[in-house]
C-alpha cells in the first residue's frame, strides 16, 4: 500500500514524538520517511494503531521498520500479501 498515511514516531523517554510519512506498509513492517533521527526501536503511531518498530535499514531520511507488535485493527484492514 503506497503513501498510506501521515504518522508519528515516538522515540520514548523525554524526546517528543515527531511526524513522519508512511511510504509503504504491510502486516510486518513499513518504509517511512522521517526528518528526525530515530533510535533503533521506537513506537510508530498510524491513526489509532500503534506499533513497536525496529529499524532494519536507514538511507538518509528513509527507514525500513519491522513491526514487533502489531495492532489487530491494522492487520484486518491491510490486504494479505500474495
Residue 26 belongs to domain with CATH number: 2.40.10.430
- In this predicted structure, the answer to whether residue 77 has a pLDDT above a threshold of 60 is no
Number of domain units in the chain: 1
Residue 78 lies in a domain: no
Residues 19 and 8 sit within 8 Å (Cβ to Cβ)? yes
* pTM across the whole model: 0.75
Residue 79 lies in a domain: no
Closest CA to 8 of 26, 40, 32: 32
Tally of CB atoms within 10 A around 73: 12
Beta bridge partners of 25: 30
The pLDDT value given to residue 69:
62
CA distance 34 to 69: 21
Residue 81 lies in a domain: no
- In this predicted structure, the answer to whether residue 76 has a pLDDT above a threshold of 60 is no
Please write the tens of the pLDDT for every residue from 1-44: 455 578 999 998 888 999 999 999 998 999 999 999 999 999 99
Please write the tens of the pLDDT for every residue from 45-75: 988 889 999 999 999 999 999 998 645 544 5
DSSP letter assigned to residue 52: E
Domain hosting residue 29, numbered range: 6-72
Residue 1 lies in a domain: no
Amino acid at each position: 500500500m503506497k503513501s498510506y498515511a501521515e504518522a508519528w514516531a515516538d522515540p520514548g523517554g523525554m524526546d517528543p514524538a515527531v511526524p513522519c510519512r508512511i511510504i509503504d506498509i504491510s502486516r510486518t513492517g513499513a518504509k517511512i520517511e522521517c526528518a528526525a533521527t530515530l533510535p533503533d526501536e521506537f513506537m510508530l503511531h498510524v491513526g489509532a494503531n500503534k506499533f513497536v518498530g525496529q529499524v532494519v535499514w536507514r538511507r538518509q531520511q528513509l527507514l525500513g521498520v519491522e513491526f514487533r507488535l502489531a495492532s489487530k485493527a491494522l492487520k484486518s484492514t491491510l490486504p494479505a500479501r500474495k
